[in-house]
Every structure is written in C-alpha cells, then in structure tokens.
Amino acid sequence: MKLSKRLQLIADVIIKYKQGSILADIGTDHGYLPCYLVENKVITKAYACDVAKGPLDSSKETIKQYKLDNQVFPLLGSGLNPILKRQVDMISIAGMGAYLICEILDEHREYLRNIEVMFLQANTNNDHLRKYLFANDWIIIDEQMVKDSGHIYEVMVVTARKNKAVTYSQRDEEFGPILINNQTPLFKEKWKNIETNYIFNDWISCCWVGGPHGWCHPDGVIAFQNNIGKWPDVEDVYEDLEILAKEFPFLNLTCTLMNDEEFDATESLVSFEVKNGEVNVIDTIPIDELQFDRERKFTFRPGHENYFDLETIKKWADEVYKED
C-alpha cells in the first residue's frame, strides 16, 4: 500500500514512537493508516473509527482489499466513544481541524490517561492544538513537518506530562517547541524566515559583550549600526538591502557605509536609499551629516540597550503605544 506523503510521515513517527501494539485511528476515512501499519506488522491490531457511515464503508473496502479483517476493526461513532470499552495503547487523529481534535480529546480526558502515546496531525490551527495539549498536561516529544500537495503539515507525538517541570511558552504554542529549535527548510518556508547575511536589527539582542550595536529608535528610525561583520563587499550589503526592501516595501531609509567602525570612521564610502521596495545608490552622504552620536563614549555595559536605561526605554514605549 502506498500512502500519501502526509500519511507516510504519520506512519513513520508511529513506527518510531510506538508503545504497545493496538492503535485506534479516529476519523479514519479510508482506513489507510491502520491498514498500512497492520499490513507492515508495525502493530498487531487496529480500530478504524469514523463518525460517518460513508467514510467507514470506505475503510471496510480497504480492510477487505488487503485481507485484514482479523486485525483491523471498523467502528462507527464520534470521537473516542467507539473505543471506550476496548483496550487501546495508542491513538492517532489526523486530517481534521485542531478545534475538532481538541473537542474529541476533551470529551474523554480520563480515558486518555491510559493511552501511552498519541499521534496528532491537525490541518489547521496547530497553535490552538498545542495550547490545549499544554494546558491539559500533555507534552510533545517529537514534531515533524511534511509538504504534501502544496500544503505544509505538522505531526505531533504526544504523551502524558509526567515531569511537572516541563513548561511551555507562547512561542512554543505558536511554532512548536521542537520545530522551533530545529529549524528545517520546511519550517523556514512555512514561517517565511527572511535571511540576510550582514544586516540585522540587533537592537534587542546581540552576542557582543558590550551590548547591541544597532540603534533602532522607538519611532522606527534605524539610525545606526556600527559593525556589520567580517568583511562584506559593498555588493554584499546591497544584496541584503534588496532582500529587506522586497520583504518590507514600506521601508524608507538610507544606508551609508563608512571606512571604519563608529569611533574610528573618517569618511563615508557609499550611500544607498531603500524606498518603495527598491535599493538605489545615491550621492554619498558626508560623514558629518550622518545622524549618529559620535561623542558617545565607548563603555562595556552588558545587558543595556545601547546605553539606554530601562526607564528611557519604557518612556519611549509609552509614547509609541499612546500614538496607537
């Protein structure tokens, strides 16, 4: 039996994380997943469950076609209801919206305490599903992504939270605690990461012990960034600016490259204008016309945002929010 790429990934994670040998597939439709797993001897028994008669009949066809009548049992009913009185080790729920999956899980929370592992794949609103799971003492032990027919799916492997110390953030809910720490090309495609090589907005974070180099004012003006790494050509910087201009066509700024860092620079070399999604070379802006504070004294103050204390930052934040 050949599965779709999406179902194959679910089968693969079941092969990797299976516990016990009996699986219930809720919302099974054609019953491909349970039939595949039994046929390939990953499990010995499966329940193919569906709320609707039509899809369940389809699963019966598949069971018949692959001669699995003694191992895959079609059951009609909503959610977990058809399996409440049966022994089940694992549950898979795939191909539905997250809200429906959560309703199904929530209806029989106590029953689920005896389930070793769940394999979940929501077509939409993965953040909602994760939020529900985390709030109900489930943990995600693995997450994987797959692109199938132009759509990117996320598959979660879920077990009961035994260690109370595991905590999740809003970021984990949104992006997936494992996916975000293992940013695959598919993750980047989904979240449309923008990658530049030399130009970053490092106002908030920077690994340099002296604090961030950037100087992005609360009103959005990026006034200064004094070091963009080792050692790009003008073309490299131009290419980064092009990426930013394309992604943020509302940007309206100039960029001037100087012959050295903040306190040692003596002349401007080239200026660009980023506007309307394009980058153009403009007349070089002389160094003494650039808007940055050359009098600032160099001090190591780790943890400070460009020499601005928390009070100042708060004051600016208040001004910005007041404007909204």
Quick one: which of 26, 48, 102, 118 contacts ligand SAM (CB under 6 A)? 26
Contacts 24+ apart (CB under 8 A), 137-144: 137/161, 139/166, 140/176, 140/177, 140/178, 141/17, 141/117, 142/13, 142/16, 142/17, 142/178, 143/176, 143/177, 143/178, 143/179, 144/9, 144/13
Cβ(144)–Cβ(13) below 8 Å: yes
Report how far residue 292's alpha carbon sits from residue 223's, in angstroms, rounded to the nearest whole number. 7
Task: Please give the structure tokens belonging to residue 276.
Answer: 């309307």
Structure-block tokens of residue 54: 């039509």
**Segment lying near ligand SAM (by CB under 6 A), choices 12-20, 95-103, 177-185, 236-244:** 95-103
Question: What is the nearest approach in angstroms of ligand SAM to the Cβ of residue 39?
Answer: 16
Instruction: Identify which range of 47-55, 65-73, 191-199, 302-310 contacts ligand SAM by CB under 6 A.
Output: 47-55
Q: Which of 9, 43, 90, 104 binds ligand SAM (CB under 6 A)?
A: 104
Fill in the DSSP letter of residue 85. Answer: T
**Burial of 102 (C-beta count, 10 Å sphere; 0-12/13-18/19+):** buried
Which of 79, 214 has the CB closer to ligand SAM? 79
- 50 in contact with ligand SAM (CB under 6 A): yes
- Of 37, 91, 94, 156, the one binding ligand SAM (CB under 6 A) is 94
Stretch near ligand SAM under the rule CB under 6 A, chosen from 48-56, 65-73, 162-170, 316-324: 48-56
DSSP β-ladder status, 268-275 and 252-258: antiparallel
Tokens found for residue 164: 């109370």
Which of residues 1, 3, 51, 270 is near ligand SAM by CB under 6 A?
Answer: 51
Name residues whose C-beta falls within 8 Å of residue 36's C-beta, 6 or more positions apart in sequence.
1, 3, 7, 11
Residue 79 touching ligand SAM (CB under 6 A): yes
Judged by CB under 6 A, the residue of 23, 48, 96, 115 near ligand SAM is 96
Choose, by CB under 6 A, the member of 12, 17, 22, 78 that binds ligand SAM. 78
Size of the site for ligand SAM (CB under 6 A): 17
Q: Does 46 bind ligand SAM (CB under 6 A)?
A: no
Residues in contact with ligand SAM by the rule CB under 6 A: 7, 26-29, 49-52, 55, 78-79, 94-96, 100, 104
